[in-house]
Amino acid sequence: MTDFAATKAMFALPEGMIYLDGNSLGPMPRATAERVRHTIEDEWGEMLITGWNKAGWMQKPTAIGDRIARLIGAEPGHVVMGDTLSIKVYQAVASALELNPTRKVVLSDSGNFPSDLYMVEGLVKSLGPDYALRVVAPEEVSAHITDDVAVLMLTEVDYRTGRKHDMKALTEQAHAAGVVTVWDLAHSAGALPVDLAGCKADFAVGCTYKYLNSGPGGPAFIYVAPRHADAARPALSGWLGHAAPFDFDLNYKPGNGIERMRVGTPPVLQLAALEASMDIWDMADMADVRAKSIELCDLFITEVEARCPDLTLASPRDGAGRGSQVSFRFHEGYAAMQALIARGVVGDFRAPDIMRFGFTPLYIDEGDVRAAVDIIEDVMTNALWDRPEYKTRNAVT
């Protein structure tokens, strides 16, 4: 049984803040700064260039990939860290398209995170006029899995509402129609159990700065199913994905399996920060995390609906159909969220009217949920959102 009191004690959160925005940027583990200092001063400072071997920097992308593999149901040795999620989306979709060469359509949905759509828009434009990105409503995805679709690219959990796709069913349907799948786990990894192997997912990608708490700009990951790993051509064919990078051949020869999805030099400092967070994740069982997350979200929904009638639930009511977040609609959602943040309840806002609250059992408990609802009730009942200082928009919240 995961000891959530112990995991909570391993995070440093500002006094008086209830942080419900770990779905955007996870909070800081207490051990991170010292871990990164060690990498800077004791590794880089002392070992310099030899750190690539002596400190194991070169192997970190796959070593940490294996620790993430456990959380997402991936086979060991089939996840590698690096780059940003947008780059990993491009890599996965480019490879997936080539595995299905007679078809030219990438199917996605309008609930996908826009950057995923942008990256594929850029890719299909490069590939030429035969290729297309087809975007449908999330509830219409199943009906559009037709035999002209090459790749189905979906984010499992909707970043605004937390609505969760059925990965297993959609992947099965896709395979039956000859479609290769790419799953974005940005709001899944560390949020809920994922079973990539069991779902027979083809490709998956995700980021680490949300539920995996690696800090701002933490690296992304990519998974390629074992059956594709030695067949997928990396469109982004960089030297660290080469079979023998230090031979400095003039021609590219892809490395074995997931190694070929490496591109350039790994971000060693960001990886060190991620390791500090993975030490906490190693203490957690995803089934426990999921059970507790649903419990916290259900409590939050029940209490907010009972005490704040102006807020309308935007997330699925059934925990099984939801990620680890709860969203409510309110016409002055931006201002209301600013008023909440001013009182220490930090969620975020997504246009046009969504107030988003993430729940992460690793550092949020029932007491936090109840305290947050008290403040939300105060803000709503006393219309504290109707103050001019909360109505000016910032670029990022």
Q: Binding of its own copies at residue 101 (CB under 8 A)?
A: no
> Annotated catalytic, 209?
yes
Query: In the range 137-196, which residues lie near its own copies by CB under 8 A?
Result: none
User: Shortest approach of its own copies to residue 221 CB, angstroms?
Assistant: 13
**209 annotated as a binding-site residue:** yes
User: Catalytic one among 4, 19, 90, 113?
Assistant: 113
Q: Find the part of the chain contacting its own copies (CB under 8 A) among 29-37, 72-80, 221-229, 372-380.
A: 29-37
Give the interface size with its own copies as a residue count (CB under 8 A).
Answer: 92
Q: Find the part of the chain contacting its own copies (CB under 8 A) among 191-199, 222-230, 248-256, 324-332.
A: 248-256
Q: How far apart are CA 153 and CA 134, in angstroms?
A: 10
**What is the x/- site pattern for its own copies, positions 371-390, by CB under 8 A?**
--------------------
Q: Binding of its own copies at residue 266 (CB under 8 A)?
A: yes
Q: Binding of its own copies at residue 132 (CB under 8 A)?
A: no
**7 annotated as a binding-site residue:** no
Assess contact for 135 and 109: CB atoms under 8 A.
Answer: yes
**List 8, 10, 52, 148, residue binding its own copies (CB under 8 A):** 52
Cα 3 to Cα 67, 90, 281, 364: the distances in Å are: 19, 38, 11, 12
Q: How far apart are CA 351 and CA 345, in angstroms?
A: 19
Cα 114 to Cα 125, 135, 195, 246: the distances in Å are: 16, 11, 25, 37
Q: How far is CA 17 from the centre of its chain?
A: 23
> Annotated catalytic, 113?
yes
Q: Binding of its own copies at residue 391 (CB under 8 A)?
A: no
**239 annotated as a binding-site residue:** yes
Q: Binding of its own copies at residue 33 (CB under 8 A)?
A: yes
Going by C-beta distance under 8 Å and a sequence separation of 6 or more, which residues neighbour residue 115? 85, 86, 89
Phi-psi map region of 178: left, alpha, beta (phi>0 left; psi -120 to 50 alpha) = left
DSSP codes, 188-201: TTTTS---HHHHT-
**281 annotated as a binding-site residue:** no
Q: Binding of its own copies at residue 348 (CB under 8 A)?
A: yes
Nearer to its own copies, 199 or 240 (CB): 240
**352 annotated as a binding-site residue:** no
Instruction: Characterize the bridge pairing of strands 312-313 and 325-329.
Output: antiparallel
Q: Find the part of the chain contacting its own copies (CB under 8 A) among 240-248, 308-316, 374-382, 384-392.
A: 240-248
Here the tokens at position 278 are 């993975």
Cα 174 to Cα 167, 201, 371: the distances in Å are: 10, 10, 44
Residues in the annotated binding site for pyridoxal 5'-phosphate: 85-86, 113-116, 155, 184, 187, 209, 239, 265
What is the set of active-site residues?
A: 113, 184, 209-210, 356
